Amino acid sequence: MIPSPAEPPALADGHSAAEASPAVVFSDVSLTLGRDAAAVSVLNDIDLTIPAGQSIGVVGPSGSGKTTLLMVMSGLERVDRGRVHIAGTDITDLSEDQMARFRGRHIGIVFQSFHLVPNMTALENVAVPLELAGRNDAFDVARRELQAVGLADRITHRPSELSGGEQQRVAIARALAPTPSLLIADEPTGNLDQETGRQIADLLFRRAKEAGTTLVLVTHDPGLAGRCIRSVAMRSGRLSDAAAVDRGAA
């Protein structure tokens, strides 16, 4: 059988290629967005390898390209040059359908602006992606995840009836629920008070450790970046190796 590009082949020892490969590899990635006078070289010559199971904090000033880096990592934005591998699969040229299926199986995303479905309750926002993935315990899992982020008493609220921090926690519950191998989060504690932010960070790191999840966190919070095994800095679309700090095991 010839494996499809979205299905890493099983190896002889029973492990899949996904387990044997780095979680993320960017090879010489560049991307320009906008046209003419509005064109911006948002990502420039990015090389980045994130081993499976590592936690990495991405820091850098506003407009430096952090969100765009995450969009490329999750296959929601296509590159102009270079290749992107996720868990051993080259996602650079996957079709939208292939990418959506791949994302559903491997990647959890917490968007900077949450992207919750407005006419669904918190419970439905977390459960529906699980249902679509064929889980018949979707609503039980969703209830548990919402409880874990402290929202047990908000499950029937719609996003417009939730505070910004509560919406953020629904987005985190939704991303964690399918136990993705790669969790990508854009300012996951950005709307939270210090204590709630600490609790959510504890939850992210605990869950990542339990499941061997690779964590990629964009943050302006030095405390959160400092909890990652490694941190890198974006500046004007370039990833600064000079700012990479290897902290060893977290």
Ligand X SMILES: Nc1ncnc2c1ncn2[C@@H]1O[C@H](COP(=O)(O)OP(=O)(O)OP(=O)(O)O)[C@@H](O)[C@H]1O
Residue number closest to ligand X, CB atom: 34
| CA–CA dist 167, 165 (Å, integer) | 5
Q: By the 8 A CB rule, do 204 and 30 touch?
A: no
Segment lying near Mg ion (by CB under 5 A), choices 84-92, 104-112, 123-131, 175-183: 104-112
Q: How far apart are CA 225 and CA 130, in angstroms?
A: 29
Residue 68 binding partner per list Mg ion, ligand X, none, with a CB distance cut-off of 5 to 8 Å that depends on partner kind: ligand X
Say whether residue 190 binds ligand X (CB under 6 A). no
Round to whole Å and give the CA distance between 42 and 236: 7
Residue 34 sits in the site that holds ligand X (CB under 6 A): yes
- Please, what is the minimum distance in Å from the beta carbon of residue 142 to Mg ion? 27
What is the total count of residues that contact ligand X (CB under 6 A)? 14
Q: For the segment 46-65, give every residue that binds ligand X (CB under 6 A).
A: 60, 62-65
Count CB atoms within 10 A of the CB of residue 151: 22
Applying CB under 6 A, does 222 fall inside the site for ligand X? no
| Segment interacting with Mg ion, rule: CB under 5 A, options 12-20, 61-69, 119-127, 164-172 | 61-69
The single-letter DSSP state of residue 168 is: H
Q: Exposure of 38 by Cβ count < 10 A (0-12 exposed, 13-18 middle, 19+ buried)?
A: exposed
- Which tokens belong to 226? 């400092």
CA-nearest of 31, 29, 133, 42 to 90 is 29
Q: Which of 38, 136, 160, 242 binds ligand X (CB under 6 A)?
A: 38
- Contact (Cβ atoms closer than 8 angstroms) between residue 83 and residue 73: no
Alpha carbon distance, N-terminus to C-terminus of the chain: 40
Interacting residue with Mg ion among 54, 55, 64, 67 (CB under 5 A): 67
Site for ligand X in 103-142 (CB under 6 A): 112
Alpha helices in the chain (DSSP H): 17-20, 66-73, 96-106, 122-132, 138-148, 164-176, 194-211, 222-227
Give, as ranges, the residues between 109 and 138 that touch Mg ion (CB under 5 A): 112
154 binds ligand X (CB under 6 A): no
Q: Which is nearer to Mg ion, 67 or 125 (CB)?
A: 67
Q: Nearest residue by C-beta to Mg ion? A: 67
- Smallest gap from Cβ 59 to ligand X, in A, equals 9
Q: Which residues are near Mg ion by CB under 5 A?
A: 67, 112
Q: Which residues are near ligand X by CB under 6 A?
A: 33-34, 38, 40, 42, 60, 62-68, 112
